[in-house]
Amino acid sequence: MTETEQLSLTEENAFNLSQVAIQLDQAREDSTQLATALERNMEVWVAMRIMVSRAGEALQQDTKDNLIRLSQFVAETTMKYGADIPGEVIDTLININLQISEGFLESAKA
């Protein structure tokens, strides 16, 4: 990618989700880094919820509803556990991010 190329909004969302998934995975053993990664993950999902609510006809309603539900799950889960989040719940957040990222990239190809 050259300096003049820019990511589409869909590609940017996919990139952010995959980046924070990596941060979550790498922060497992350090509670300070994990807290930062969890906060960043929530920021990404809040931004996505805002984007989805403004998407108009660009997204199907069931897709919007699913993304909003996932963003609520991420927020509720993060608030419930904080930096004391169990490893299997971190795995769940990572998998959600990677699956949604992949879905965004697949839809960008179509």
| DSSP reduced 3-state for 54 | coil
Question: In terms of residue numbers, what domain contains 87?
Answer: 9-109
Q: pTM score, two decimals?
A: 0.89
Q: What is the mean pLDDT of the chain?
A: 91
Which domain CATH number covers 78?
1.20.120
Q: At what angle do helices 31-53 and 9-26 cross, to 10 degrees?
A: 160
Quote the CA–CA distance of 58 and 76 in Å, as a whole number.
27
- Is 2 a member of any domain? no
- Is 4 a member of any domain? no
Domain count, the chain: 1
23 within 8 A of 40, measured Cβ to Cβ: yes
Residues 6+ apart with CB under 8 A from 35: 82, 83
Percent of the chain exceeding pLDDT 90 equals 72
**Tens-digit pLDDT profile for residues 5-39:** 787 888 899 999 999 999 999 999 999 999 999 99
**Tens-digit pLDDT profile for residues 43-92:** 999 999 998 888 776 788 998 999 999 999 999 999 999 999 999 999 99
Q: What is the DSSP letter of 9?
A: H
